[in-house]
A and B are shown apart, each in its own frame.
Chain A
Amino acid sequence: MSEPLLKVRDLNQHFHVSRNFTVKAVNGVSFDIYPGETYGLVGESGSGKTTIGRSIIRLYNPTSGSIVFQGREIAGKLDRPTEKMLREDMQMIFQDPMSSLNPRKKVGDIIGEGLDIHHRFASTKERDDAIAEMLDKVGLSQSHAERYPHQFSGGQRQRVGIARALIMNPKLIIADECISALDVSIQAQVVNLMKDIQDSTGCAYLFIAHDLSMVKYISDRIGVLHLGYMVETGTTEEIFANPVHPYTKSLLSAVPLPNPEVEKRRKSIAYDKNQEGVDYAAGVEHQLEGTHKVLATDEELARWTA
C-alpha cells in the first residue's frame, strides 16, 4: 500500500469547560487515510466525529497526539509554509449549507475566496473562468455566480459549498454531515456528484455522517466512534460482514431499512456501555484479520468473538 495521505496517531482533544471540568471529546484515536479513498466516520452525536474533523483541519488545537498530512506534522504549532500547504490542500464541506455561506456575498465571490486569498490567478478573467468552470462541474449554471445564497435551494447551496472546497484542488476534503440536511432525492444527487469529483480529481474524503447506509455506500473504510473512542475500524466489508464490537452491532441494528416486512419484526439491539461493563480506557487495539481493528481488553474480545 502506498504512503498514507493523512496519518492520525493517538489524537486527544480535550476542552476545558471550567477549572474542575474537562470534556474529553476525543481520546487516543488513530487512523490513516490513503490518497483517493473515502474514509467514513460514524457514531452518534457526542461521539466526537465532528471534533476529529475539526481538529484535523486545525479549527481546534489538538491537546496531544500527532497528525501527519502529506508527510508534515500539523498537530502542533504551524510554521508559514506548513500552514499554507494545509490551507490549500485540505478543505471542508459543512453540514448546514445555509449557515456556512456568507449571505451578503455573491456565490461567485464565495467560491472564488480561496483563489483571492492565495493569489492563485494572474488576471480577473482567469479567476472568473475558474469560478465558471467550477460552477459547471458541480452542476450549476454560470449565471448563478451573480446570485446570493438565499436565492438557491438546499441542494444547490450544498453544491456551492462543494464548489468552494474544490476550487483549491485539495488532496483531502472533510465532509462533515454534508448531506444530512438534504432531502432523500437530493442526497443521492450530491453523493453522485462527490463520487464523480473523486473519480476525476483523485481527492480523498473524510466522510463524517451518522447515516450508516449512506456511509456504507460511499466509504472504502470505516471507523466507528463512541464517546470519543474509536471502537472499531476496518474496510467497509469487514465492518458490515463481521461487526465485533457490541456498539457497532447496536448501530447496525438501528438502521431503518425500506423493507416493511423485515422492519416490523426486527428489534434494535440496545447497547449500554456500563451495563455491559465495557471500559474503553482499559481497552487496547486488537488487530483481527486484515485491517479490521477493535478496541477491547483481552477478556472483552474473547467474550465478543465467542
Chain B
Amino acid sequence: MEMNENTILKFDNLDISFRTNAGVVHAIRGVNIELRRGETVAIVGESGSGKSVTVKAAVGLLDGNATVNSGKILYRYKNDDGSEKIVDLLAMSKRELRTTINGSRIAMVFQDPMTSLDPTMTIGKQIMEGILLHKRGDKDFAYRRALELLELVGITDAEKRMKNYPHQLSGGMRQRVVIAIALACDPDILICDEPTTALDVTIQARILELIKDVQDRLGLSVIYITHDLGVVAKVADYVNVMYAGKIIEVGKVNEVFYEPKHPYTWGLLAAMPDLETDDDRLASIPGSPPNLLHEPQGDAFAARNAFALKIDEKVEPPLFKVSDTHYAATWLLHPDAPKVEMPKELQARIERARKEAERYQ
C-alpha cells in the first residue's frame, strides 16, 4: 500500500451509496483526500454534499443502509512497539475499529455538545471512561489525566467541575468537555464535525483558538468539517470544497480563497457578505443542490452554474491542475475552454482581502 512519507490518513477514491425506500442514493462519488502529519484539512460544502459521510466512513460510523462500493481509507500509525503500520480502515470490522482505532488513535468531536454528552453521567466520569476502556491506566491515573485535560481545554476549577453534570455547564463549556474527551487517549487525528455550529460567535472564536492551541502543543492532525468559510479561513492549511459527493476544488487555503477557480467556490465566497460588502444584492447561487437519487449526467453543478459550457451537461470534468497543490474540477480550466473570469464583485472583494492581509504582515 503506497502512501507518502508524511501522509497519515488518505481517502482513496472513496465511493459510498445508501439504500433508501426511494432508491439508491449515490452520496459519495470518488473522493480523494490526504491528511499530512500535523496539518489541518478542512472539508467545506452545503448540507447533503457528503462531507460528514466521508469522515464517518473512517471511524466506522456509517449507517446500516450504507454500502461502500469502492475505495480505501489508509491510515498510518505507530504500533506500541514502535514499528510503523498502514491499515485500510474500511477492511476492518467495526469491533476491531472500536478496540484499536476509535477514540485511541482517531477521535471525533461532534456538532452538538448537548447530544454527544451523556446527561446521566458526571463529566469527570465521561472523560475517564475512554481512558479506562482503552486500558491506558488505572482509576487514579484516569482521574489525574481527566483533571489535566480539563485544565488543558481551559476549564477553571477542574476538580469541582469533575462532579458536574452536562446540564450544569454552558454550551461553550460543554464543547470544551467534548474536546477533552476526544483528547483523552492521545489520538493522532482529531476529526471535528461542525464543532462550533451550535455555538455563539464569541464562543466559536474561543473554541477554534483552543483546538488550534491544542493541536500545536500535541502535534495533532485535524480534519474540520464545516459549511462556514470564515471558520475554514481561520483554521485550515488545506481546503477541500465538496459538492454532490465529489471534491470539486482542493488547494492550500490561500490558493482557494485568493485564486478560486471553480464557479461553485466563487458562488460560496460571493454569497457570504464580508464586513465591507455594500452591494445592493448578494450574489447567490440559484437553485438547490441536486438530489443524488438520480445519478447526475455530466457536471452535477451545471444546472446552477452561470458559466456552464455545453460539455458540462454531458461529461463530468476531471480535476485540472492549477498548481502543484491546487486542483479544480471544472471544464473552464481546459486549454480549449473560453476565457472566463470570476465575477467582478468577487474580484473586488478578493482585492480588498489581499490589501487587508498586507496590513497584517
Contact = CB atoms under 8 A, between A and B. Distances in A.
A183, A189, A210, most chain B CB atoms within 10 A: A183
Contacts of B271: 184-185, 187-188
A263 interface: yes
Contact of B288 (A155, A240, A254, A261): A155
B209 A44 contact: no
B203, B278, B282, B285, most chain A CB atoms within 10 A: B282
A186 B286 CA distance: 8
A254 B202 contact: yes
Given A44-B202, A256-B204, A266-B360, A184 B274 contact: no
Nearest to A153: B288
A264 B354 CA distance: 13
A264 B234 contact: yes
B200 interface: yes
B274 A257 contact: yes
Contacts, number: 139
Contacts of A81: none
Contact of B205 (A191, A240, A254): A254
A94 to B, nearest CB: 18
Interface of A: 44-45, 153-156, 183-189, 191-192, 195, 210-214, 216-217, 240, 250-251, 253-268, 270-271
Contacts of A211: 201
B150 to A, nearest CB: 19
7 contacts: A183-B46, A211-B201, A217-B273, A217-B277, A259-B353, A263-B234, A271-B202
Given A262-B353, A268-B206, A270-B206, A255 B275 contact: yes
A232 to B, nearest CB: 15
A258 B201 contact: no
Nearest to B201: A254
For the complex, would chain B's binding face be called helix, strand, loop or mixed by DSSP majority? helix
Given A210-B201, A261-B254, A265-B360, A184 B272 contact: yes
A159 B77 CA distance: 49
Contacts of A262: 233, 353, 356-357, 360
A185 B263 CA distance: 13
A263 B201 contact: no
A229 B273 CA distance: 27
Contacts of B274: 213, 257-259
Contact of B229 (A184, A188, A189, A212): A184
Contacts of B282: 188, 191-192, 217
Given A188-B283, A188-B284, A262-B357, A213 B202 contact: no
Contact of A216 (B232, B234, B273, B360): B273
B157 to A, nearest CB: 15
Contact of A45 (B46, B171, B257): B171
Given A185-B267, A263-B230, A257 B360 contact: no
Given A185-B285, A214-B273, A258 B202 contact: no
Nearest to A152: B288
Given A185-B268, A187-B271, A257 B233 contact: yes
A185 B234 CA distance: 20
